[in-house]
Structure 1
Amino acid sequence: MLRRAAALLTTTAAMLAGLAVTPASAHTYSIISGHTVTVRSGPATTYGSKGSVTGGQRVAIACTVRGQSVTGPYGTTDVWDYIHLEGYISDAFVYTGVSGPVGPPCGSDQLHWDPSEMRLGVDQPGTRRLYNEMKAKPAWNLRGGDAHFAGIYVNKPGEHGEGRALDYWMDIDRPAEFQAGWNIANFMKDNARSYGVQTVIWNDKVWLASNPNAGWQEYDEIGNCGDSSKRCKHNDHVHISQNWAGAVLKTTHWM
């Protein structure tokens, strides 16, 4: 089925190649102009409506499933996309650049990294639940209550602004927190597939799902944050961000 422009095929291939080890899945894509598409609770037109998206609107595709075949302006497909609005839309009306799925299967543990391209200003459910799980572990909640919660910071750019990154106060100058911070960081790295974690930063080190075999790498606090302060080095907080599948509860841990 010829559904997309050749120029977008080239662009998509270049973006995937740039990640080298694991693919980016979601980015964001546009609804095809001239169409209003119902966001549904399941992958068929018989499922209930959860709202709609309109032509030109950008959506993040978290994951994909096979469902009812739907005919759109470029042909027919049974691919349905679970988007950041927490519902399914037919891929027949999404301008992705390829004829097949662009996201991982919903409910999988596929390791990937999704760049941030939108400012949404809302917490994502998987990110909030990730924090709640962290807080519930006594060995990680040394200060009690919500005292470790630095925030999801939806007013910031990047993954924070999409609501799928959180910061968790830990201070390297407190020996117990220094060790707990590394316990958290290693747990998130080791369980990145099931939780949908894509970036972990702690104690001036970074792990990226886009290059997982590199392990912990030196973090460029100047290039990424602007200075060598304790905050920029991530010596006073652990930073954790999720891919879109993890952020909307569509990886193995959440399903």
Structure 2
Amino acid sequence: MTHRSTGSAVVHRRWHGLILSVAILAVLATIGVLGTRWVVENQDRIFPVSAPWGPECSVWTGEEQIKLDRDQAQRASTAAAVINQGDSAPVEQPDVDDIPDEVMDALVNGPEDDAGPSMSCRYSGEDVEFEEELPSGMTPRNEAMKAGIEAHFADTSIGGYVPGGYDSGHGEGSAHYEGRALDIFYRPVNEDNRREGWLLAHWLIAHAPEYKIDVIIFDDKIWSTRYPSMGWRHYDADPDNEILRHLDHVHVDVLRGTDPSAGA
């Protein structure tokens, strides 16, 4: 009798555990389905995000989120920069006939009550070769990005690098110490310069795969390849420090790659 009772209890516990596991899985599956459905149905009200499905980029117009493929995002962000710069633009405006007018208006003029962000894109990075810092104080990838910025934006004030490289003056682990980062300044801090900065930030995020960009920080916002679908996130910094909050400059750094000597 004792053995039968014990065996029955064991079977009962196993069935109870199985039923409980199935119930938990069913609840999680329901939450997942409902959550996914909510995201799909409410994408137009979620900003800034770039969902891990469909086109790589999106623009928030103030009323809806319009999806763009990478080429459209690059042409739209370039056109917005050209329109803003007028006759001083160093490049011609690309064709944007396939871009909705409301997208271009959002990129050129920014949200009515704020400067940005309006565009978000996803890019999770890629395997790249590790590059040593050159005498310029930049890696080759960083030099290419600097050249790209200067080719599209006139009269830029670019810093964040020095010949020979930095060994102090930036936060611990900063990409500036490896020659992988640039700071593009928009001073003084005011609404006009904020809008100028967001024109560049949008151009950078649209061209992230081309220049192997890893991180962009501006105006209390950060985008990175670490969380590619989350878009622009809040950037925590000393609320009384305009520099640390990146209000006066756009910070951008390129992918590092794996240093082959690190494991030696």
TM interval, shorter chain, is 0.3 to 0.5
| Normalised TM-score (structure 1) | 0.43
Flag the structure with larger Rg.
Answer: 2
The structure with the largest helix share of the pair is 2
Higher strand share: 1
